[in-house]
């Protein structure tokens, strides 16, 4: 790396996409080491990383222009002794200077955007003579690497969680009856973008639609009395998920009972989330709580959440999920009872779960589960 580029990297606090660029550079080198150990174990000499998901894990950067594209259109070759960015002339300098590539790659191979065949040629020049894989063929191995967060990732996730919660809860305080679900979603998107977050999921269900659908994509339906709003916010590649609800005027008794029941189910699942526990055991604890509270089988109406991280859910909990939870993994449970939901993102530590998306500024109730007291969100009455 040139001295000029290293100075840019070290003096890059202006880059809102990073928390401590020097720390990120050291972290990237550690992750490259993990990839190389994985390749050696599997008998490969190198790998092409081209999924935006894995590129974000490696560098904490943004590797998309069109957010719908399944591949980044950019590739990092990781060999035994070097890593190389392969990108067109549109993206190369931005990725190098703003998205962490300067700390991840030894050099750039760039080509004119109008000569796409050059990408194949440059990839061949890196891999010629080597036994090579792609992160697509090694998707399960890369997922294993992504699931356990390091200290830097945990710090970024905690920051993201607070920003996401502030964005959603601020919108809950200001939107008014008569506004459409689209307008509420627009307010939420604005609140996210102002904080440097990408709203990758935005659900707004008002009144009858909140009761009818578990995934209410926003529509022109106006809010009259009640709205449930769910957010998936991404920054540094990580995704924080949470749900909040607002009611204008006194809350009807049945809706209050459902919310009190769903947050108890959530608290039970959070309490059950311990290192060494299988996902299906946590799901079973939630199903048992639903039944005890008078809502048997409700868990079958919607997925209940699971392991989070660089996707809103890296692994969803199902009755067959034998995945074993470990320290330094993120989770987001989202039990729901018709018209209500409880959802936050948590980090699993050695001493139990840590809430990442709780601000203590939203109405909540403390649920007692065994010896634990777990705060969960109620419905905001305005």
Task: Tell me the C-alpha distance between 74 and 64, whole Å.
Answer: 9
Three-class secondary structure of residue 336 per DSSP: strand
User: Mean pLDDT over residues 1-22, rounded?
Assistant: 39
Contact (CB, 8 A) for 141 and 54? no
What is the reported pLDDT for 254? 96
User: Mean pLDDT over residues 154-182, rounded?
Assistant: 98
What is the reported pLDDT for 286? 98
**Most confidently modeled range among 1-15, 16-30, 51-65, 319-333:** 319-333
- Would the pTM count as exceeding 0.85? yes
Task: Tell me the C-alpha distance between 210 and 312, whole Å.
Answer: 21
The answer on pLDDT for 48 being more than 50 is: yes
Q: Of 22-31, 167-176, 237-246, which range is least confident?
A: 22-31
Confidence band for 142, pLDDT divided at 50, 70 and 90: very high
For residue 111, give the nearest of 91, 97, 82, 95 by alpha carbon.
91
Express each pLDDT in 198-234 by its tens digit. Answer: 999 999 999 999 999 999 999 999 999 999 999 999 9
Express each pLDDT in 182-204 by its tens digit. Answer: 999 999 999 999 999 999 999 99
DSSP type of residue 231: E
Phi-psi region of 115 (alpha: psi -120 to 50; beta: other; left: phi over 0): beta
User: Mean pLDDT over residues 281-305, rounded?
Assistant: 98
Mean residue pLDDT of the chain comes to 92
- Domains in the chain, ordered, with CATH? 3-147 (3.40.350.10), 151-381 (3.90.230.10)
What is the reported pLDDT for 300? 98
Confidence band for 66, pLDDT divided at 50, 70 and 90: confident
Confidence band for 65, pLDDT divided at 50, 70 and 90: confident
What is the reported pLDDT for 8? 34
What is the reported pLDDT for 23? 58
> Tokens standing for 71?
């591949």
Task: Tell me the C-alpha distance between 109 and 248, whole Å.
Answer: 57
Contact (CB, 8 A) for 72 and 55? yes
Express each pLDDT in 250-292 by its tens digit. Answer: 999 999 999 999 999 999 999 999 999 999 999 999 999 999 9
For residue 152, give the nearest of 11, 6, 273, 25 by alpha carbon.
25
The answer on pLDDT for 72 being more than 60 is: yes
Task: Tell me the C-alpha distance between 200 and 217, whole Å.
Answer: 12
Confidence band for 14, pLDDT divided at 50, 70 and 90: very low
Cβ density class 13-23: b for 16+ within 10 Å, e for less? eebebbbebeb
| φ, ψ for residue 234, nearest 5 deg | -115, 140
Contact (CB, 8 A) for 150 and 328? yes
């Amino acid at each position: 790396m040139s001295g000029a580029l290293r100075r840019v990297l070290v003096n890059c606090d202006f880059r809102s996409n990073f928390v401590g660029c020097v720390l990120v550079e050291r972290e990237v080198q550690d992750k490259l080491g993990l990839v190389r150990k994985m390749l050696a174990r599997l008998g490969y000499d190198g790998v092409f990383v081209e999924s935006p998901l894995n590129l974000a894990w490696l560098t904490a950067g943004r590797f998309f222009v069109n957010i719908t594209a399944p591949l980044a259109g950019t590739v990092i070759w990781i060999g035994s002794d070097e890593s190389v960015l392969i990108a067109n002339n549109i993206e190369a300098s931005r990725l190098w200077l703003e998205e962490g590539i300067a700390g991840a790659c030894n050099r750039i191979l760039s080509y004119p955007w109008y000569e796409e065949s050059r990408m194949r040629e440059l990839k061949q020049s890196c891999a010629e003579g080597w036994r090579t894989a792609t992160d697509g063929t090694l998707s399960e191995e890369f997922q294993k690497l992504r699931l356990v967060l390091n200290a830097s990732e945990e710090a970024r996730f905690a920051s993201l969680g607070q920003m996401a919660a502030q964005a959603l809860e601020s919108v809950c305080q200001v939107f008014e009856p008569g506004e459409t679900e689209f307008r509420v979603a627009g307010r939420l998107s604005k609140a996210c973008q102002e904080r440097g977050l990408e709203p990758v999921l935005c659900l707004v269900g008002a009144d009858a639609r909140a009761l009818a659908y578990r995934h209410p994509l926003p529509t022109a339906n106006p809010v009259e009395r009640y709205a449930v709003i769910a957010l998936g916010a991404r920054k540094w590649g990580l995704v924080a998920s949470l749900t909040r609800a607002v009611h204008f005027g006194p809350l009807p008794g049945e809706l209050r009972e459902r919310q009190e029941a769903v947050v108890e189910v959530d608290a039970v699942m959070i309490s059950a989330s311990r290192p060494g526990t299988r996902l299906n055991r946590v799901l079973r604890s939630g199903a048992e709580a639903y039944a005890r509270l008078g809502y048997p089988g409700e868990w079958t109406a919607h997925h209940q959440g699971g392991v989070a991280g660089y996707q809103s859910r890296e692994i969803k909990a199902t009755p067959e999920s034998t995945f074993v939870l470990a320290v330094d993994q993120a989770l987001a449970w989202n039990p729901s009872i018709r018209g209500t939901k409880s959802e936050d993102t948590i980090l699993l530590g050695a001493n139990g779960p840590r809430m990442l998306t709780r601000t203590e500024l939203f109405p909540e109730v403390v649920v007692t589960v065994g010896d634990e007291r777990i705060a969960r969100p109620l419905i905001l009455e305005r």
